[in-house]
Structure 1
């Protein structure tokens, strides 16, 4: 039986691997910003990074 009240069948999780250096940078930036936990800041940071790459790919599609 699942006892977690915060999970739903529709919830999905994506995991990213980052270098130790990038991990430390994310934690430091989260501490400086102060309004987000390190995990919340990491999620925001990685989503922005993924979205910016998606936008670049849409603007500059590679020709076959």
Structure 2
């Protein structure tokens, strides 16, 4: 967990970015918006996107 301003400098040690705020730039790793966790709408679909992104990352 970190502040959005810290994400770019900390992405090297991560496999996926899951953000509850607007992502201000692009990153070298997959990044997903997680506002569904705040609203409660579409959480299962987001869960699947996270699983798919991690499976793709670890398949390489």
TM superposition score normalised by structure 1: 0.33
Greater helix content = 1
TM superposition score normalised by structure 2: 0.34
